[in-house]
Structure 1
Amino acid sequence: MSNSPLICRFGSGLELANLVVSSGLLSQTWDSISELDRELNPSEQIRFRVYQKPNCTVIAFVTSPTPTKPQLQEEDELVSSSFPHLFHFLCTKSNPTLSIHKAAVTLFSSLLDQLSNLKNQISNSVPLIVTGHSVGGSVASLFTLWLLESMNLADAKRVLCITFGAPLIGDKGLQQAISRNSKRNSCFLHVAANQDLVPRLFVSGSVAYQPFGTYLLCSESGYTCIEDPEEVSQLLLAVGSETARNQNPYVELEIFKYTETVKHVEDLVIYQGILKLGEAKVLPLRASTILQLDAIGIKRTQQPLIENMERREQFRAFKLKNAFDPGKKLNKMKEDMANLEWYKKTSMFEKEGYYDSYKHKRFPKDNDAIKFKKRLNQYWKKVVEEAEIMPQKENAPLGITWLYGGTNYRRMVEPLDIADYYSKGLKNYKADGRSEHFKKLEEWLKVDALTTKPDNRKKLNVSNSLTEDSCFWERVEEALMLCKSLRNGEGDRELTIMNLVTFEEYVMEQIKNYAVSPEIFLDRSSFMRWWREYESIIETSYKSKLTDLMKTGKYNKYADGSLDF
């Protein structure tokens, strides 16, 4: 292998690593660790300090050396994120459980009071580097996760965690909690030398530790950047395997110092070229893979590892190419929404509205609506799923554009889901049949509405509006069943009447707020069918705001916004 230095472009983490190396941040952070390490009292388990640099603030963590390899591995126990209730925020519905290295959590917890005070003093005006060496790097990672939770996305972009020779700290649940969240995913750079055994201690153990973030793997030959967690695990096992085999497992582990490694890597940054392999007719992917392994001292004879890395890189490229991107499919979804808008308008000519037209499915256009609904549901379920994994705003993960696009979709399409549900003879849609993604879209709109001014001009455009409560037709269907029960003498009559009065009040509130589409008043709509059923049941002496509106025909003024209350 040539003696020339290698810097391999492999994975998007290279941009992060090159920025850290070329800007001098790598040496600044290691210098801070070295200075703090000299101050560490032998009796101390862990110490941290804040360093104000000209271009950033550095918070460094160091721990006392680990005595022997077997003793460290005895402490490889993983504990739930609920213990000690510090990292439960990492769990989501799609990723409900995760576990963290017990020793790291214990050390972090021992500093909690001091770190809480520090957290309140941290300024968001300058970049923040959190760093640590060996197990101190594990604590630095936990502190970074804990800190990011209290930051908005803009402030989080000014935080970077750089660890040196840190062991893995969590299971696949922790890995996913970080990699699937845009606020956390790009904040971690782990530096690991091929001579350092500590980063590999938990890779092949019985406990399922998993890496996260970008890894800067270094050797005397060069360095390379890896983001794919499976490749990181494989390379951590492969790098320096001879060193690991030759070391006596019962002697003290030598805690590897990164002074020379950092200097070597920073020297390499001036050589931005890539060596020519000298091998004829080598495919670009094979060449890139071989260069990547060369850079960290892995022999080219490890054919299975090379082939596996090629397959994973091809799969990663395929995933990136075919990854779900809401923007890519948005135009098609706009077409489907436009088609449903047209379906809604044409259904009004039949005097029943699009809800009832879809429910009865008598015409070819109803079959087209089924296709539009199916595609839109698939699309928005995926949008909501992605938003929950990678929130952009606390409690309201969708941005404004997507939130209101999702709201229009929900108001247009959920009534069709309700029509399908009740056409099967079912009941209690909201409790038993409603999709979770509709619930989320409604919940996020309510959060956003707290900071959004109400629109007082709705009645000027009510003729073209969608019913705001996407479950309005569910209430109508349930009210029709109440009328049927009352007419047949079923159930508690007094309770049934009370529920019907509650429905009356609900409808009147929607009408007063111009929150329902005027199509509910079409002669053949389910709402008008309910009204005729209800009118035939109630006593002639019974009066309410809704009965006055309906019996006098005032509701006919609703569509042009001229109805006064």
Structure 2
Amino acid sequence: MTKVMEKSKSIVITGHSLGGAAATLCTLWLLSFFHTKTHHHPILCITFGSPLIGNESLSRAIQRERWCGKFCHVVSNHDIMPRLLSTPLPSLSPKLHIIFRYWHLSMASPQFGKLATQLTEREKEELFYIVLAHSNTIFDLGEGSVQSQFWPFGNFFFCSEHGAICLDNAISVLKMLDLMLKTSAPNLSIEDHLNYGDHVKKVGVQYMERKNLNSLCLPNSSYEAGLALALESAGIPFQDEVAHMAEHSLRTASRIGQTPNMNAAKLAISLSKITPYRAEIEWYKTSCDEADNQLGYYDCFKKEDASVRHDRVNMNRHKLATFWNRVIDMWENNELPPDFNMRAKWVNASQFYKLLVEPLDIAEYYRRDTHIVHGHYLKCGRERRYEIFDKWWRGREVTEEGNTPRMKYASLTQDSCFWARLEEAKDLLEIIKRGDVRKLAPIWKSLENFERYARGLIERKEVSEDVIAKNSSYTLWAQELRALKLNM
């Protein structure tokens, strides 16, 4: 595979039947392999009659990585194979071996297929209705509450002799797998697994031709006409009983597909409504940095006694936390678009919030001496939302402008955990003051590491001016450290 990648500009992986499952797994491995690399080959996986291979957790993970567009699963309306392995195997095992051998030999040569052992008509009927009965359970649970052992991901291209439709909503895909099988028959469901070559040719020809509705009664609206055309393309008669359920599934897919984008739009409005809270904290930071006591933003909030100003900032801090926790909950519950965490608007907004507010969270943590009871902030006190925002920021697309050296100090310290690291360094310094320096080599090494790290941030101007304020915690710590070194 690595040799192929060296010679290729793009990679297309295909597979039929169980080979489709292998192609899918191979593609997932390649995507994971390229995930850590800056430049990588475009990858596309196309499967034909492949069974579902993953559960809902895998499907969600693939959505979050924005890999769904890398997969196109072609499924014939009569093919039983994509539904087959989702059925409990104990009831199918005796028949599976016969079917797989027949398919394998038939793909090698139609003449070989005739020599293979065949299922009797009765066995074909039993197999067909067992699979159909199991897939029917999807509808017993109601909309939005499907409990399937296997969960689809990517784009599903449902084809028939009349055309094709494409779906990417998991629940709608599961329902269409069931509904299209209802229009099939035992013999047809087995033989159609071998007809993907014909289906691809027909779809290609139909794409070049103008598609007309065969129904004499045309729907009044273009949306209804589109639904009718989709049903016909899927091989489902428009007036058939199954058509009503399929139509409902397509409507649901359309509605569900719009919901994440609608939620994102509503969140954008909510983001604008919380801007005044953020602006008040920014004003507070400016006033602290310009104060005569020269403490700076972090130390002012940590040492300030109860006051109207302090309480106001603290209240705004909690309001912002509530908003961003709601964003995280919606994102993790797939209520937002899969690429939400990659959108510049939200990556930048979450990063700015983290750089502005997390120093206040750290100050509050140490002001209340919470670290004495639970441990230091970085290991025991950091909110999960900040860790998620770190991942979003690391996953962004970095432009050349982002690597330009700074000419002045940053408006916000670029390491939102800088003050937490300083608090740990202050504790280490106290330990060394009370002990034998020669026996505290590991602690001394940790101190020197932080000193180099902080100096690097300052030299690159990646800190706010409050870090180097005359009476800031960092300035006082650095002075103590220098004095300790002189007395050694």
2:22 aligns with 139
- Contact between 2:46 and 2:74, CA under 8 Å: does it hold in 1? yes
Equivalent-residue separation in structure 2 for 1:162 and 1:481 (angstroms): 57
Structure 2 residue aligned with 1:176, among 37, 57, 60? 60
Structure 1 residue aligned with 2:44, among 131, 147, 160? 160
Residues 276-333 of structure 1: per-residue CA shift (max 9 Å, x gap): 9665886765554444223223343234443344334323322232237998877677
Q: Go from structure 1 to structure 2 and tell me whether the alpha carbon gap of 1:337 and 1:197 turns closer, same or farther (over 3 Å shift).
A: same
1:470 aligns with 416
Counterparts of 1:24-173 in structure 2, within 5 Å, are 115-121=1-7, 123-124=8-9, 128-151=11-34, 155-157=40-42, 159-173=43-57
Equivalent-residue separation in structure 1 for 2:315 and 2:224 (angstroms): 44
- Contact between 2:298 and 2:466, CA under 8 Å: does it hold in 1? no
Q: Go from structure 1 to structure 2 and tell me whether the alpha carbon gap of 1:288 and 1:438 turns closer, same or farther (over 3 Å shift).
A: same
Equivalent-residue separation in structure 2 for 1:382 and 1:506 (angstroms): 33
- Contact between 1:406 and 1:441, CA under 8 Å: does it hold in 2? yes
Higher mean alpha-carbon deviation, 412-421 vs 434-443, is at 434-443
1:233 aligns with 174
- Contact between 2:342 and 2:396, CA under 8 Å: does it hold in 1? no
The Cα RMSD (Å) is 5.0
Equivalent-residue separation in structure 1 for 2:306 and 2:430 (angstroms): 25
Matched, 1:519 2:466: yes
Counterparts of 1:255-274 in structure 2, within 5 Å, are 255-273=193-211
2:405 aligns with 455
Equivalent-residue separation in structure 2 for 1:386 and 1:496 (angstroms): 51
Equivalent-residue separation in structure 2 for 1:227 and 1:423 (angstroms): 50
Structure 2 residue aligned with 1:358, among 291, 298, 301? 301
1:196 aligns with 79
Residues 228-267 of structure 1: per-residue CA shift (max 9 Å, x gap): 12111111112132534x4499xx8674222332232223
Other structure's SS at 1:160 match: strand
Equivalent-residue separation in structure 2 for 1:193 and 1:156 (angstroms): 30
Equivalent-residue separation in structure 2 for 1:327 and 1:441 (angstroms): 17
Counterparts of 1:472-551 in structure 2, within 5 Å, are 472-475=418-421, 477=423, 493-494=435-436, 506=450, 510=454, 513=459, 516-519=463-466, 543-544=483-484
Equivalent-residue separation in structure 1 for 2:171 and 2:345 (angstroms): 36
Shift of 1:218: 1.9
Equivalent-residue separation in structure 2 for 1:117 and 1:407 (angstroms): 40
The amino acid of 1:262's aligned partner reads V
- Contact between 2:432 and 2:444, CA under 8 Å: does it hold in 1? no
Matched, 1:322 2:266: no
Equivalent-residue separation in structure 2 for 1:496 and 1:518 (angstroms): 35
Q: Which runs of 5+ in 1 are unaligned?
A: 1-114, 548-565
Higher mean alpha-carbon deviation, 425-434 vs 494-503, is at 494-503
Other structure's SS at 2:466 match: helix
The amino acid of 1:543's aligned partner reads A
Structure 1 residue aligned with 2:291, among 317, 331, 349? 349
Q: Go from structure 1 to structure 2 and tell me whether the alpha carbon gap of 1:525 and 1:277 turns closer, same or farther (over 3 Å shift).
A: farther
- Contact between 1:475 and 1:503, CA under 8 Å: does it hold in 2? no
Shift of 1:414: 1.5
Q: Go from structure 1 to structure 2 and tell me whether the alpha carbon gap of 1:421 and 1:238 turns closer, same or farther (over 3 Å shift).
A: same
Equivalent-residue separation in structure 2 for 1:161 and 1:337 (angstroms): 45
Shift of 1:416: 0.6
- Contact between 1:224 and 1:296, CA under 8 Å: does it hold in 2? yes
Q: Go from structure 1 to structure 2 and tell me whether the alpha carbon gap of 1:174 and 1:401 turns closer, same or farther (over 3 Å shift).
A: closer
Q: Go from structure 1 to structure 2 and tell me whether the alpha carbon gap of 1:305 and 1:260 turns closer, same or farther (over 3 Å shift).
A: closer
Q: Normalising to structure 1: TM-score of the pair?
A: 0.56
The amino acid of 2:416's aligned partner reads S
Other structure's SS at 1:411 match: helix
- Contact between 1:135 and 1:166, CA under 8 Å: does it hold in 2? yes
Shift of 1:429: 0.9
- Structure 1 or 2: more helix by fraction: 2
Identity score, percent: 27
Shift of 1:147: 3.3
Matched, 1:414 2:358: yes
Q: Which runs of 5+ in 2 are unaligned?
A: 90-147
- Contact between 1:277 and 1:287, CA under 8 Å: does it hold in 2? no
Other structure's SS at 1:217 match: strand
The amino acid of 2:378's aligned partner reads K
The amino acid of 2:56's aligned partner reads K
Counterparts of 1:365-404 in structure 2, within 5 Å, are 365-370=309-314, 372-374=316-318, 377=321, 378-379=323-324
Equivalent-residue separation in structure 1 for 2:158 and 2:215 (angstroms): 21
- Contact between 1:508 and 1:546, CA under 8 Å: does it hold in 2? no
Aligned length: 404
- Contact between 1:403 and 1:445, CA under 8 Å: does it hold in 2? no
Equivalent-residue separation in structure 1 for 2:466 and 2:56 (angstroms): 51
The amino acid of 1:431's aligned partner reads K
Q: Go from structure 1 to structure 2 and tell me whether the alpha carbon gap of 1:354 and 1:237 turns closer, same or farther (over 3 Å shift).
A: same
Shift of 1:525: 5.5
Q: Go from structure 1 to structure 2 and tell me whether the alpha carbon gap of 1:383 and 1:373 turns closer, same or farther (over 3 Å shift).
A: same
Equivalent-residue separation in structure 2 for 1:248 and 1:281 (angstroms): 31
Shift of 1:275: 3.1
